[in-house]
């Protein structure tokens, strides 16, 4: 028996109903913020991702050559393709552009709880607004989406401005190395590295920055710094909206990718793999042949949202089962059409079995049963039975939709 590939999943109807319910909740919130849904191709030129993330990402991707010898890759994330789409299709649109998406992505990783080789990402990108208000809006949107999904989470908001100021005297490679160690909270190796490069005086300042929980703390650690006023304005907007967050100026998220505001969210019930969202402000369009364009956005791990949210209550519309004898077969399909045209979920018996067997099956799946036998065909009436109460009545087919609703 063939099995599904490792790191993939099958979704049965009940789980799909729950996923669709969460999707629609999140889409409604994005729409209220003015974000419009887009879709990009499942595969792109491999270069799109290596330009953004470097050649090292090839080992994490599903890559292949098409029949023309072109190197392609299944998308490992959403942002690069969205910015490529902006450069190709939408750079003349009025700014800012507000886009959102729900995409399936692919990474060749070791599968574990909440991490799969095929996974879904709900993301949003705000393109063409280089302001504190834009930074604040994208964070508020992220918070609204996770709350609508029913996730219990904590949000950490940071900004790279003070960290960039502290590291401004370092060479680019030294910056990246220091940032990588800081990202992993490997303070021992960070101290050793800074000592070896003759920058030991930065260690206490960097560690002190990771402990800052307010703008005033940041000023005490590194003094005034470029971007401070914008950072204060952004945090002021978040505070005015009573957003529940903590300031974390030790968030790194890639110094050579993000340009200012950064943030992360963590679900409370996912164990070690508990990060459910990450984002910030960035500039990517120029890498794909466009003009240098300010952007900010985020990606939400939709599969982790589903694990964290747990069982979701979904509203199922009543289902009507059409049961019939051989004489009533054609009449059964006519009645089904009447119901469906009025938006009523309807199933017609498709197996050659008696009314008793049909009724037994209907009791497992439907809320109502319509019985059409020889008597009903001759009279033009049908019998409607409430399978929960056992009550039944005769009525004309045209009245069925109202009776069920």
Average pLDDT over residues 202-219: 89
- CATH assignment at residue 331: 3.40.50.800
Residue 193, φ and ψ in degrees, nearest 5: -65, -45
Please say which residue of 286, 309, 332 terminates a domain: 309
Number of domains in the chain: 2
Residues 392 and 256 grouped into a single domain: no
**Residue 378 covered by a domain:** yes
**Residue 377 covered by a domain:** yes
Contact 40, 101 (CB under 8 A): yes
Neighbours of 331 (CB within 10 A): 18
Listed residue (312, 310, 300, 311) closest to 146, CA to CA:
300
Res 253 pLDDT > 80 = no
Listed residue (338, 340, 158, 167) closest to 252, CA to CA:
158
Res 112 pLDDT > 80 = no
Res 113 pLDDT > 80 = no
pLDDT tens figures, 31-74: 999 999 999 999 999 999 998 777 888 999 999 999 999 999 99
Q: Domain of 396?
A: 319-404
- CATH assignment at residue 50: 3.30.930.10
Q: Please state the separation of Cα 194 from the chain's center in Å.
A: 38
Percent of the chain whose predicted confidence (pLDDT) is above 90: 71
Average pLDDT over residues 12-23: 94
Q: Is the dihedral of CA 129, 131, 135, 137 positive or negative?
A: negative
| Alpha-carbon distance values, 170 to 164, 175, 198 (Å) | 10, 6, 10
pLDDT at res. 270: 83
Listed residue (52, 53, 49) closest to 73, CA to CA:
49
What residue has token string 């995409």? Answer: 103
pLDDT at res. 232: 94
Q: Is the dihedral of CA 90, 93, 96, 102 positive or negative?
A: negative
Is 13 buried (19+), middle (13-18) or exposed (0-12) by CB count in 10 A?
Answer: exposed
Cα–Cα dist 229/359, whole Å: 71
Cα–Cα dist 182/344, whole Å: 58
Res 105 pLDDT > 90 = yes
Contact 103, 120 (CB under 8 A): yes
**Residue 231 covered by a domain:** no
Weakest mean pLDDT among 63-72, 297-306, 393-402? 393-402
pLDDT at res. 303: 93
pLDDT at res. 57: 86
Residues 323 and 394 grouped into a single domain: yes
Residues 304 and 356 grouped into a single domain: no
| pLDDT tier for residue 250 given thresholds of 50, 70 and 90 | confident
What residue has token string 């190796």? Answer: 189
Residues 256 and 345 grouped into a single domain: no
Residues 258 and 394 grouped into a single domain: no
């Amino acid at each position: 028996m063939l099995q599904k590939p490792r790191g993939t999943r099958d979704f049965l109807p009940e789980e799909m109903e729950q996923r669709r319910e969460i999707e629609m909740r999140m889409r409604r919130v994005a729409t209220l913020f003015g974000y419009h849904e887009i879709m990009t191709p499942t595969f792109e030129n491999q270069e799109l991702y290596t330009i953004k993330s470097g050649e090292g990402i090839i080992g994490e991707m599903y890559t292949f050559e098409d029949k023309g010898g072109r190197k392609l890759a299944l998308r490992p994330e959403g942002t690069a393709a969205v910015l490529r789409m902006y450069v190709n299709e939408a750079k003349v649109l009025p700014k800012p552009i507000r886009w959102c998406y729900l995409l399936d992505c692919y990474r060749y990783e070791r599968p574990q709880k909440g991490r799969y080789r095929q996974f879904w990402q709900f993301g949003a990108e705000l393109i063409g607004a280089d302001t504190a208000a834009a930074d604040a809006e994208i964070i508020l949107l992220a918070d609204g989406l996770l709350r609508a999904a029913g996730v219990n989470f904590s949000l950490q908001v940071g900004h790279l401005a003070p960290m960039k100021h502290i590291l401004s005297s370092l060479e680019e490679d030294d910056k990246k190395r220091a940032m990588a160690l800081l990202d992993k909270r490997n303070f021992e190796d960070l101290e050793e590295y800074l000592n070896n490069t003759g920058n030991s005086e930065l260690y206490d300042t960097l560690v002190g920055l990771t402990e800052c929980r307010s703008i005033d703390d940041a000023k005490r650690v590194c003094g005034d710094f470029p971007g401070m006023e914008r950072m204060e304005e952004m945090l002021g907007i978040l505070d005015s909206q009573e957003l529940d967050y903590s300031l974390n100026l030790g968030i790194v998220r890639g110094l050579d990718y993000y340009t200012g505001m950064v943030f992360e969210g963590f679900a409370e019930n996912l164990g070690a793999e508990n990060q459910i969202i990450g984002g910030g402000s960035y500039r990517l369009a120029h890498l794909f042949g466009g003009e240098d364009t300010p952007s900010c956005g985020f990606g939400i791990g939709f599969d982790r949202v589903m694990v964290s949210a747990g069982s979701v209550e979904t509203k199922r519309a009543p289902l009507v089962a059409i049961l019939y004898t051989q004489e009533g077969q054609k009449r059964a399909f006519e009645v089904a059409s009447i119901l469906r045209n009025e938006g009523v979920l309807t199933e017609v018996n498709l197996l050659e079995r008696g009314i008793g067997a049909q009724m037994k099956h209907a009791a497992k799946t439907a809320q109502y049963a319509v019985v059409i036998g020889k008597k009903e065909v001759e009279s033009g009436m049908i019998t409607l039975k409430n399978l929960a109460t056992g009550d039944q009545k005769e009525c004309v087919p045209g009245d069925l939709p109202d009776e069920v609703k």
